[in-house]
């Protein structure tokens, strides 16, 4: 092992002493330096610190005790072990020496073995002490580093938690808000309703209302101006709605063109109504979009926030029901929900369910009502009128289920079945020679919904082909109001039907307000005057109301006039006097089951 040479400083004013010590220590492998005075000692220490100091007590100017005190005070030498050397062997002096900070005391004359042993001991002690100090500081450093590492790790962790939290907030924001308008979406709205409901249950003084707003005919904007314009309009509507509300209220986009509004801090239903009116007023002003100026009305359902609701969804459902009522009443208005409406909605749902089953179970029947030629007085045609043989309710008239089946998309199936059945029945009668005259026709009503599907013409062709009916014997009736709504598509189909020699009749004429020039552009063969005009004919004995004008219009356009709802002989006489071509009504016959109607036809009645 490579031993490090130890450095010993001997401070003694007597050169003799120094010399003898020097040689002994030097021979034992120590590096020895000597100082005769305190000043010399200081200079030596400044050059290089010794590992141990041997110090004589008796010195001329500054004695050993004082030197020891100074060395212990001086930060460079404070830790260097000092051994006193003295001829004084008094216990008092020894204690004094130890009090100045020395580590040992050797009395002269020296036994050199003892001196070496003591020096070795103290050097070893000092080495161990330094080692311990080093280890301590190393340990301290390690602890410091670890602490720093931990602190850094903690900081990193805190940062990543923060980033995560921010991300989570952002995600939550996306999940709970509508991306187009930035408004709360349905999920968040339902939560707000839930809170409001909870508060209302706890605090009787807390009042709230829910508004359900749906834009009127928004689809028209989307279809005609495109979705981008539609989106721009929705954002503008959202802004306008927000401007009509107070900061306490919540506006939400529920989806599509539907918005939900939660009104809080209100006193009664009238304040909710006032806000709805304000909204309708604000919406009625034109929207100036980047490329278009657009008008957009809305229908609003208002539901007062009763504490009796179990679920927030029901609050919204009933506001929705009220909104539908507002639409049905003519749009661009509000309607306040009342529980009766809920009963009706339930009834409608029941009806829809029953209807689906009815289609599956084929619970429909076709009744026939004769149409009389006023020139011959004989039956020329039969109008097919559908009935629903309901297992509990009995025979249900079409007015009670046709609109609902149009709503839920069952009308196609039902209506095509009627067409098929009517054609089949007539063809069968011809085949079985139950009718002698080959000019008997069947009139079938077609719903406007059928005209929006491309396959209609093919379906009609197939029915004609399969039943073998002559198209000349088929007449199609379409309600006037229906033609107005989707004219180009309908016109197109009507011309194709005309090409097939199918007669076309405008039904319920007078109820749809179509202009004459408009009427002219459609290929109708006949106008069927609505029964409400025929009814009023009698009340207005002198001029017979509008019926003469209507017959005149039909004739001037080269069409035949059919009067519907003829119930009295007077009406019949009046219509004859007006040169009306055909008539239909209870006076001749109610709509009848096919077996009864064939009996009637067979009896060849004449009026």
**185 interface partner picked from Mg ion, ligand C2E, none, CB below 5 to 8 A per type:** none
- Which residues 6+ apart lie within 8 Å of 69 measured at CB? 100, 101
Q: Which is nearer to ligand C2E, 365 or 434 (CB)?
A: 365
- Which residues 6+ apart lie within 8 Å of 517 measured at CB? none
Q: Which of 299, 415, 514, 594 binds ligand C2E (CB under 6 A)?
A: 415
**Token digits for 511?**
């109820």
Q: Which of 252, 303, 445, 514 binds ligand C2E (CB under 6 A)?
A: 445
Establish if 386 lies at the interface with ligand C2E (CB under 6 A).
yes
Choose the stretch contacting Mg ion; rule: CB under 5 A; options: 1-9, 205-213, 486-494, 503-511: 503-511
Distances (CA, A) of 330 to 334, 409, 480: 10, 22, 19
Strand pairing of 582-583 and 560-563?
A: parallel
Crossing angle for the helix pair 112-176 and 15-27, to the nearest 10 degrees: 70
Q: Which of 85, 507, 561, 578 binds ligand C2E (CB under 6 A)?
A: 507
Establish if 575 lies at the interface with ligand C2E (CB under 6 A).
no
Choose the stretch contacting ligand C2E; rule: CB under 6 A; options: 242-250, 333-341, 440-448, 482-490: 440-448
**301 interface partner picked from Mg ion, ligand C2E, none, CB below 5 to 8 A per type:** none
**47 interface partner picked from ligand C2E, Mg ion, none, CB below 5 to 8 A per type:** none
Residues composing the chain: 607
Q: Which of 403, 501, 586, 602 binds ligand C2E (CB under 6 A)?
A: 586
**447 interface partner picked from ligand C2E, Mg ion, none, CB below 5 to 8 A per type:** ligand C2E
Binding mask 7-46 for ligand C2E (x = CB under 6 A): ----------------------------------------
Establish if 447 lies at the interface with ligand C2E (CB under 6 A).
yes
Three-point CA angle 365, 368, 369, nearest 5°: 145
Q: Which is nearer to Mg ion, 318 or 477 (CB)?
A: 477
Q: Which of 508, 519, 550, 572 binds Mg ion (CB under 5 A)?
A: 508
Q: Are 107 and 89 in contact (CB under 8 A)?
A: yes
B/e letters for 329-360, b = 16+ CB within 10 Å, e = fewer, are eeebbbbbbeeebeeebeebeebeebbeebee
Q: Which is nearer to Mg ion, 249 or 564 (CB)?
A: 564
Establish if 561 lies at the interface with ligand C2E (CB under 6 A).
no
Distances (CA, A) of 422 to 174, 234, 327, 461, 500: 56, 47, 35, 14, 18
Give the shortest CB-530-to-ligand C2E separation in angstroms: 7
Q: Which of 565, 581, 583, 594 binds ligand C2E (CB under 6 A)?
A: 565
Choose the stretch contacting ligand C2E; rule: CB under 6 A; options: 140-148, 178-186, 262-270, 563-571: 563-571
- Which residues 6+ apart lie within 8 Å of 498 measured at CB? 504, 523
Q: What are phi and psi of 304, to 5 degrees?
A: -75, 135
Restricted to residues 423-462, the positions that interact with Mg ion (CB under 5 A) are 445
Give the shortest CB-591-to-Mg ion separation in angstroms: 11
* Angstrom distance (rounded) from CA 123 to CA 119: 6
Strand pairing of 560-563 and 526-529?
A: parallel
Give the shortest CB-586-to-ligand C2E separation in angstroms: 4
**586 interface partner picked from Mg ion, ligand C2E, none, CB below 5 to 8 A per type:** ligand C2E
Restricted to residues 475-494, the positions that interact with Mg ion (CB under 5 A) are 477
Q: Which is nearer to Mg ion, 319 or 490 (CB)?
A: 490
Give the shortest CB-414-to-ligand C2E separation in angstroms: 7
Binding mask 521-540 for ligand C2E (x = CB under 6 A): ----------x---------
Establish if 382 lies at the interface with ligand C2E (CB under 6 A).
no
Establish if 418 lies at the interface with ligand C2E (CB under 6 A).
yes
Choose the stretch contacting Mg ion; rule: CB under 5 A; options: 184-192, 410-418, 463-471, 557-565: 557-565
Choose the stretch contacting ligand C2E; rule: CB under 6 A; options: 242-250, 451-459, 483-491, 559-567: 559-567
Choose the stretch contacting Mg ion; rule: CB under 5 A; options: 1-9, 75-83, 493-501, 560-568: 560-568
**Token digits for 413?**
């199936």
- Which residues 6+ apart lie within 8 Å of 184 measured at CB? 176, 177, 178, 192, 250, 251, 252, 253
Restricted to residues 459-478, the positions that interact with Mg ion (CB under 5 A) are 477
Q: Reduce the DSSP state of residue 573 to 3 states and report it.
A: helix
B/e letters for 204-232, b = 16+ CB within 10 Å, e = fewer, are eebbbbbbbbbbbebeebbeebeeebbeb
Q: Which is nearer to Mg ion, 77 or 584 (CB)?
A: 584
Strand pairing of 474-479 and 394-396?
A: unpaired
* Angstrom distance (rounded) from CA 186 to CA 151: 44
Establish if 591 lies at the interface with ligand C2E (CB under 6 A).
yes
Q: Nearest to residue 374, comparing CAs of 575, 540, 165? A: 575
**122 interface partner picked from Mg ion, ligand C2E, none, CB below 5 to 8 A per type:** none
Q: Which is nearer to ligand C2E, 303 or 445 (CB)?
A: 445
How many residues sit in the footprint of ligand C2E (CB under 6 A)?
25
Q: Are 333 and 326 in contact (CB under 8 A)?
A: yes
Q: Which of 113, 399, 438, 556 binds ligand C2E (CB under 6 A)?
A: 399
Restricted to residues 332-371, the positions that interact with ligand C2E (CB under 6 A) are 369
Q: Which of 56, 264, 320, 508 binds ligand C2E (CB under 6 A)?
A: 508
* H-helix segments, 250-307: 269-283
Q: What is the DSSP letter of 451?
A: G
Environment class of 197 (CB within 10 Å of its CB; exposed 0-12, middle 13-18, buried 19+)? buried
Q: Reduce the DSSP state of residue 229 to 3 states and report it.
A: helix
Distances (CA, A) of 455 to 34, 114, 446, 502: 124, 126, 14, 17
Give the shortest CB-368-to-Mg ion separation in angstroms: 12
Q: Are 51 and 123 in contact (CB under 8 A)?
A: yes
Q: Which residues bind ligand C2E (CB under 6 A)?
A: 369, 385-386, 397-399, 402, 415, 418, 445-447, 477, 479, 507-508, 531, 564-567, 584-586, 591
Q: Which residues bind Mg ion (CB under 5 A)?
A: 445, 477, 507-508, 564
């Amino acid at each position: 092992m490579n031993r490090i040479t130890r450095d010993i400083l001997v401070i003694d004013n007597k050169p003799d002493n120094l010399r003898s010590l020097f040689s002994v220590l030097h021979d034992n492998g120590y590096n020895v330096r000597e100082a005769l005075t305190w000043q010399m000692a200081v200079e030596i220490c400044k050059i290089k610190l010794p590992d141990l100091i041997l110090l004589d007590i008796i010195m001329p100017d500054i004695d050993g005790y004082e030197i020891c005190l100074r060395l212990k005070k001086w930060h460079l030498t404070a830790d260097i072990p000092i051994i006193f050397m003295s001829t004084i062997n008094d216990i008092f002096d020894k204690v004094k020496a130890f009090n100045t900070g020395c580590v040992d005391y050797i009395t002269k004359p020296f036994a050199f073995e003892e001196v070496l042993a003591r020096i070795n001991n103290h050097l070893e002690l000092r080495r161990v002490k330094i080692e311990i100090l080093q280890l301590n500081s190393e340990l301290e450093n390690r602890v410091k580093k670890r602490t720093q590492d931990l602190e850094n790790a903690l900081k990193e962790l805190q940062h990543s938690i923060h980033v995560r939290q921010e991300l989570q907030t952002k995600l939550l924001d996306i999940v709970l808000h509508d991306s187009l308008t930035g408004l709360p979406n349905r999920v968040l709205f339902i939560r707000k309703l839930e809170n409001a409901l909870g508060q209302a249950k706890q605090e009787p003084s807390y009042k709230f209302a829910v508004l359900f707003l749906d834009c009127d005919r928004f689809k028209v904007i989307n279809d005609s101006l495109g979705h981008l314009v539609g989106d721009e309009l929705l954002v503008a509507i959202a802004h306008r709605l927000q401007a009509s509300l107070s900061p306490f209220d919540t506006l939400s986009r529920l989806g599509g063109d539907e918005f939900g509004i939660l009104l809080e801090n209100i006193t009664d239903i009238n304040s909710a109504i006032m806000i709805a009116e304000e909204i309708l007023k604000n919406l009625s002003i034109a929207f100036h979009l980047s490329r278009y100026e657009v008008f957009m009305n809305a229908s609003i359902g208002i539901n007062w926030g009763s504490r009796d609701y179990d679920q927030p969804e029901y609050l919204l459902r009933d506001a929705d029901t009220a909104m539908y009522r507002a639409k049905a009443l003519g749009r661009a208005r509000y309607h306040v929900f009342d529980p009766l409406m809920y009963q009706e909605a339930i009834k409608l749902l029941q009806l829809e369910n029953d209807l689906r089953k009815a289609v599956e179970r084929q619970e429909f029947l076709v009744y026939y009502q004769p149409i009389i030629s006023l020139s011959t007085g004989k039956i020329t045609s039969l109008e097919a009128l559908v009935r629903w043989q309901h297992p509990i309710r009995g025979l249900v008239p079409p007015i009670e289920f046709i609109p609902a089946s149009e709503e839920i998309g069952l009308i196609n199936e039902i209506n095509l079945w009627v067409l098929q059945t009517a054609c089949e029945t007539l063809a069968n009668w011809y085949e079985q020679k139950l009718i002698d005259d080959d000019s008997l026709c069947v009139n079938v009503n077609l719903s406007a919904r059928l005209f929006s599907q491309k396959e209609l013409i093919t379906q009609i062709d197939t029915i004609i082909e399969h039943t073998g009916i002559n198209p000349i014997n088929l007449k199609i009736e379409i309600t006037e109001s229906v033609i107005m709504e989707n004219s180009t598509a309908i016109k197109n189909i009507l011309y194709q039907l005309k090409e097939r020699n199918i007669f076309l009749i405008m039904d319920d004429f007078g109820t749809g307000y179509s202009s004459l020039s408009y009427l002219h552009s459609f290929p109708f063969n006949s106008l069927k005057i609505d029964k409400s005009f025929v009814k009023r004919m009698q009340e207005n004995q002198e001029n017979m109301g509008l019926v003469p004008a209507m017959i005149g219009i039909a004739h001037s356009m080269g069409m035949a006039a059919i009067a519907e709802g003829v119930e009295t002989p007077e009406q019949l006489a009046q219509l004859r006097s007006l040169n009306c071509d055909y008539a239909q009504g209870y006076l001749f016959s109610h709509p009848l089951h096919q077996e009864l109607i064939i009996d009637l036809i067979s009896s060849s009645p004449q009026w």
